[in-house]
Structure 1
Amino acid sequence: MFILGISAYFHDSAACLLKDGQIIAAAQEERFTRLKNEASFPACAIRFCLEFAGITLAEVDHIVFYEKPFLKFERLLETYLSDAPKGLRSFLKAMPLWLNDKLFLKKRMQGELKKIQSSGSGNREILFTEHHHSHAASAFFASPFSEAVILTVDGVGEWATTTVSIGRDKKIDMVQEIKFPHSLGLLYAAFTAYLGFKVNSDEYKVMGLAAYGTPRYCSLIYEHLLAVKADGSFYMNMDYFNYCTGLTMTNKKFDRLFGAAPRKPGEELTAFHKDIAASIQQVTTTVLLQLASHLQQQFGMDNLCMAGGVALNCVANSQLVEKSGFRKIWIQPAAGDAGGAVGAALAIYHEYLGKERAVPVGKDLMQNALLGPSFPEALVEEILVAHHLSFQKTAPEDFHARVAQYIADGKVVGYFNGRMEFGPRALGSRSILADPRNPDMQSILNRKIKFREGFRPFAPAVLEEFAEAYFGLKAESPYMLFVGRTSFDDLPAITHLDGTARVQTVNAAEHQDFYQLIHTFYRLTGCPLLINTSFNVMDEPIVCTPADAIRCFQHTHMDVLAIEGYLVLKADQEQHGAAI
């Protein structure tokens, strides 16, 4: 049985294909279109999923969309009516889009599916799940738990912004919710916009910037913007926000509260901006911890699952691990809207169809998020030749040794191997790798490779058995969703200003190739970890194809491209006159 899950039309569109309840393929549309956070119908991602399974769309048993458009439209109408006559401009802008397009998504999607496969009679039936239920299902049904509390926190779905559910076996029951406009995700997004960054895209920049500031504005946030109850539930003062009916996140009253106008993109980041970032990060962490701690006491369960965009806040997540009382926490690696495609499909399989769950002992169903396309060596060689590149083919037993030596010599390596990752993190399949011991490497990577802000930190990928000694981590962190404290002073390139690092633990059985590479570097240097950052430049998606990787390699100061057993050296291209 095949089930196709789809998320689209807001941001981070994606598709996921299940075969008999197992996730066999999943990908974000942005990786194919090369438009970051692509929102359009994921036609390319769907085609990939079908091609991977070797089936046609006609062979898919069920197709499901990750939210319910009519409920979303209901929220939009009720919000405008309750705030009228405010928001008339925004209303006039939004209504034609909804009436002509978004309100009739079923018909629109059926048309898009016909473009993928025109044969077959009639329109395909499309099922719909609610947005937060898709998030909850993506967290629980993909987790290694047979029962858990499920916490979903994001900007907003149809109405819900925060939900609590209980997952047992093949059933999920929502038991609590906070509704729009009161939203921890939108609060964080409002500060993201105030700091001059992109909403639904750059929230992680605020998290990184927070380490450089002092949280001196927390009391101001609690006094004027956010009321938090003992159980972690909250209420926002909407007098300071404009996102309900306006075209901006905050208003002039918000600016007056903090004594400054919003930062414009590209403007200098001052101490004030850093303190603002530190303050909203601390408030978010505190509220999440209060909420999770209460849930553990209320339900007395050992396991917590999380999803929704706020669940990507690894600084807050680590506080939950340490202090919430839950023994184990599992977070969906594609916690944002892309993961909704996974959750929608799993919800149909287990709840709508009533199929049993088979929970592997100690394993989740995400397969290290390596769910995207891969490319055979022969095709890679053809592409390298077509790009007129000088390259070397290495024997499998020599490949990791060569790459590890380049990294130890101070080279920056673009590493492309196996199936592409699903979700926002590069996890050793589409990664840029470097030596964490090099004190200049953070600056080199930010300035010459990623072309991004200098305050941005880099993550370490560490052999799992060394995670506790180096970072104090007692739990696995295969998806870079937790931070640890660095225990060694000779790792400047991966140590953030506050002494933390966003850690990826690498397991020999689950991620064999990447483990072998890091282990080879360890044997060579005595250091059991590498810098691992995504194979892309700022404001571009992670690379998908060999051609994408070559383009990124050519337009940055990357030294080596290691791609499916082939080595491409920047110095060789210059020597032989190849395009660089």
Structure 2
Amino acid sequence: MFVVGISAYYHDSAVALIRDGVIIAAAQEERFTRKKHDAAFPAQALQFCLAQAGIQADEVDYVAFYDKPFLKFERLLETYLAFAPKGFSSFRLALPVWLREKLFLKNLLAKELKNFSPTINWEDKLLFGEHHVSHAASAFYPSPFEEAAVLTLDGVGEWATSSLAIGRGKKLEVIKEIHFPHSLGLLYSAFTYHLGFKVNSGEYKVMGLAPYGRPIYVDTIFKHLIDVKSDGSFRLDMKYFDYCAGLTMTNRHFGELFQLSVRKAEQELTQAHMDMAASLQAATEQVISLLVAEVAKETGLKNLCLAGGVALNCVANGKIFKDKHFENIWVQPAAGDAGGALGAALAAYHGYLDQEREPCIGFDHMRGSYLGPEFAQADIESRLRAAGAEFEVLDEATLIANCVDDLQMGNAIGWFQGRMEFGPRALGARSILGDARSPHMQSTLNLKVKFRESFRPFAPSILREDVTTWFDFDADSPYMLMVAEVKESQRIATPEAEKDLFGIDKLKVARSTIPAVTHVDYSARLQTVTADTNPRYHALLSSFKQLTGCPILVNTSFNVRGEPIVNTPEEAFKCFMGTDIERLAIGNCYLKKEKQNPALKISYENAFELD
């Protein structure tokens, strides 16, 4: 039985396809259209998933959509009525879109699907799941657990903003919810907006900015913005927010509270901005810790699954791990709305169709989240020749040896291998790699390769077998969703003259033997690598360790700021030629920058809208 899941029309459109409960393929539409966070119907992602499964559209048994538009419209109407007449301008903009498209989503989806098979009555095959059920299903069913508590935290679905579900076998039941407008995700997005970053994409920047600041506004947040009970339940004071009925996330009361106006994009970040980020992150962690403690107490379960956009907050996840309220924690790697496509398909198969779960073989059912397109070696060579690239074709051992030599000499490498990742993180399939020991690699990658803000941290990929030697962490973190501290033995004492540095000046200080991946608070966003899910990447790390004694590489996504992660060899070559990446490894093809035709070098820095 084939079930397709679709997430679309809000942000991060995606498609997932399962066969008899097994995940065959999943991808975000942005990777094909090259439009960051593309919200359109994911036609190209669907075409890929069908091709990967080797089927035609008419062989699909059901198509599951990740939320229920009528419930969303109900929330929209009730919210505008509650705040009337204040929200009229926003209502006037939203209503035509709903009347033209979203209220008739079943017809719209059927029309799009007819482009794949015009003779099928697609409306009979369409199923709609609730937003938080889709999130919960994306977390529980692919997890290795037979039984687990499932906590979903995001901005808002139909009405729910936070939910608790219990998963047992093929059954998944939501038992508690917190409803709009009270939302931890929207609180985080409100600060994201006020700090000058894009809502629904810039939240991770706020998380990365937080360690440069001081959490001096935590009491202000809890006194004025959010009322939190001992069990973690909460309510926001809407006096300070404008997202219910206005066109912005915050209002003048919010700015007056912090004595700080909304920052313009690209405006200089001050210590006050950093302090706001630090305070928000600290407050968010406190609320999540209370919620998780209550879930553990109430359910008595040993396993916890996490999903929803807030579950991408790997710093908070690291705190949950350290609190040890649960023996095991599993986070969906595509925890945001893209993962809702996978959850919708799995909820339809196991919930609506009442089909059993397959036993878990390996770490989980996600296959390392390598669920996207891949390219055969002959196809890679043909595409690179057509792009004008100069390359060598090497056997795997020689390719890895060359790359290891390049890395230890300080070169950055574009690493394009196997199937593309599903979710926002590059996990060693579409990555830019560097030497974690280099004191210059962090700033070099940010400014000369990624063309992004200098404060942004990079993640380490580390051999799973070596993680306890380098970090205060002893578990799997294959999806880069856990933050841990660098081991005391690997740290470097901060000189007295530099201990009082504030803000971005903290970047000047090397804090450990792996400075390129050590954040200013000694933390790192870990990816543990095993041979069973990514053998070539594991081999690269192993060879680098053999040469240098260090089993760690800098791993950042293969793209520039504002661009989706590269999907094809042509896109990888274009990014290679438009940045200061020195080497490129695509399949068994090995490229040196100095061997390329200089006429193919392009100005890539301003090629995409800033994120």
* Cross-structure match for 1:202: 202
Q: Which secondary structure state, in structure 1, belongs to the residue aligned with residue 596 of structure 2?
A: helix
Instruction: Report the CA distance shift for 1:2/1:212 in structure 2 as closer, same or farther (over 3 A).
Output: same
Cα distance, 1:578 vs. partner?
A: 5.5
* Cross-structure match for 1:337: 337
Q: Which secondary structure state, in structure 2, belongs to the residue aligned with residue 371 of structure 1?
A: coil
Cα distance, 1:299 vs. partner?
A: 1.2
TM-superposition CA deviations, 1:503-554 (whole Å, max 9, x none) = 0000112221110111111111111010000000011100001111111111
Contact 1:144 1:365 in 2 (8 A): yes
* Cross-structure match for 1:519: 542
The residue type paired with residue 345 of structure 2 is A
The residue type paired with residue 73 of structure 1 is F
Partners of 1:48 and 1:26 lie apart in 2 by 9
TM-superposition CA deviations, 1:172-224 (whole Å, max 9, x none) = 11111100000000000000000000000010000000000000000001110
Cα distance, 1:475 vs. partner?
A: 1.0
TM-superposition CA deviations, 1:335-376 (whole Å, max 9, x none) = 000000111100111111111112315521111100000011
Identity of aligned residues (%): 55
Partners of 1:578 and 1:502 lie apart in 2 by 35
* Cross-structure match for 1:309: 309
* Cross-structure match for 1:68: 68
* Cross-structure match for 1:544: 567
Q: Structure 1: where are the runs of 5+ without partners?
A: none
TM-superposition CA deviations, 1:115-141 (whole Å, max 9, x none) = 123344675531000000000000000
Partners of 1:578 and 1:314 lie apart in 2 by 38
Q: Which secondary structure state, in structure 2, belongs to the residue aligned with residue 211 of structure 1?
A: helix
TM-superposition CA deviations, 1:76-124 (whole Å, max 9, x none) = 0000011111111001111011001111111001111111233446755
* Cross-structure match for 1:383: 383
Partners of 2:371 and 2:600 lie apart in 1 by 33
* Cross-structure match for 1:442: 442
Alignment TM-score, normalising by the size of structure 2: 0.94
Contact 2:369 2:421 in 1 (8 A): yes
Partners of 1:461 and 1:54 lie apart in 2 by 33
- 2:521 pairs with 1:498: yes
Contact 2:371 2:421 in 1 (8 A): yes
Partners of 1:457 and 1:14 lie apart in 2 by 27
Partners of 1:555 and 1:119 lie apart in 2 by 45
Partners of 2:375 and 2:533 lie apart in 1 by 20
* Cross-structure match for 2:348: 348
Contact 2:28 2:42 in 1 (8 A): yes
Instruction: Report the CA distance shift for 1:122/1:15 in structure 2 as closer, same or farther (over 3 A).
Output: closer
C-alpha root-mean-square deviation of aligned residues, in Å? 1.1
Partners of 1:249 and 1:166 lie apart in 2 by 32
* Cross-structure match for 1:57: 57
Contact 2:440 2:516 in 1 (8 A): yes
* Cross-structure match for 1:5: 5
Contact 2:169 2:357 in 1 (8 A): yes
TM-superposition CA deviations, 1:304-323 (whole Å, max 9, x none) = 00000000000000110111
Partners of 1:418 and 1:573 lie apart in 2 by 24
Q: Structure 2: where are the runs of 5+ without partners?
A: 491-511, 603-611
Partners of 2:157 and 2:600 lie apart in 1 by 50
* Cross-structure match for 1:133: 133
Cα distance, 1:384 vs. partner?
A: 1.1
Contact 2:577 2:600 in 1 (8 A): no
Partners of 1:473 and 1:486 lie apart in 2 by 9
The residue type paired with residue 551 of structure 2 is P
Contact 1:57 1:117 in 2 (8 A): yes
Equivalences, count: 579
Contact 1:145 1:359 in 2 (8 A): no
Cα distance, 1:2 vs. partner?
A: 0.4
* Cross-structure match for 1:103: 103
Instruction: Report the CA distance shift for 1:392/1:71 in structure 2 as closer, same or farther (over 3 A).
Output: same
Alignment of 1:100-499 (within 5 A): 100-120=100-120, 123=123, 125-360=125-360, 363-487=363-487, 488=490, 489-499=512-522
Alignment TM-score, normalising by the size of structure 1: 0.98
Partners of 2:594 and 2:539 lie apart in 1 by 26
Q: Which secondary structure state, in structure 2, belongs to the residue aligned with residue 505 of structure 1?
A: strand
Partners of 1:38 and 1:578 lie apart in 2 by 28
